Amino acid sequence: MSKKNLDDYEEKRDLEKSPEPKGDDNKSHDKPIFVIQKHDAQNLHYDFRLEIDGVLKSWAIPKGPSTDPSDKRLAIPTEDHPLDYATFEGVIPEDEYGGGEVIVWDKGTYENESVKDDEDLSIEDAYEEGHIKVWLKGKKLTGGYALIQTDSGDNPRWLLVKEDDSEADARRKPVKTEPKSVKSGKTIDDLKEEDDD
């Protein structure tokens, strides 16, 4: 897969000083994956990443995902991340890019359900069109989600919206009620305490 997609990733961080993956184990999965990492950087946010074309296409979602179809969550696109970033959990040093604690808040596979004019659209084309529809199979999040680009150019903006399907639940509020990592069971605060020891 095209390595050049990861230039921004490598330029932004010093991978000798940050514990983040170097991206050298970048093998595509039989079933494409998604991951949501809770990241307590300068501003707390949730990094939503979808495996597309050999990388993790990425969006920072300040409020995190919702299971309520009436919520529209701002999703700010960020640089492509290597596939092996999907298992990364740990503490990025304070003075490095994105410094702060990261946990794997949710992870799983997805099915592409993107369409345009009643025709199935590849996930790559849907990304380019700025209108993605996926069915997530995570531990916390399941069901249909749409990612819709609302602004392009210098200030690109997308929205993440839960589809109104069998998995929708306006009362669940998983960002509030399910704070633990699906990888380790740890919370952001657990990582903070470990880091202080």
- DSSP codes of every residue in 134-174: EEEEESS-EEEEEEEEEE-TTS-EEEEEE-SSTT--TT--H
Size of the site for Mn ion (CB under 5 A): 2
- Residue closer to Mn ion by CB (options 39, 57) is 39
Residue nearest to Mn ion (CB): 39
First to last CA, the chain: 41
Q: Count other C-beta atoms under 10 Å from residue 166's C-beta.
A: 9
Choice from 13, 39, 57, 81 touching Mn ion (CB under 5 A) = 39
- Residue closer to Mn ion by CB (options 64, 138) is 64
In angstroms, what is the minimal distance from the CB of 39 to Mn ion?
Answer: 4
- Residue closer to Mn ion by CB (options 39, 73) is 39
Region of 8-16, 38-46, 51-59, 142-150 interacting with Mn ion (CB under 5 A):
38-46
Contact status: 47 vs Mn ion (CB under 5 A)? yes
Phi, psi of 30, deg, nearest 5: -60, -45
Rounded Cα–Cα distance for residues 91 and 12 (Å): 17
Residues that bind Mn ion (CB under 5 A): 39, 47
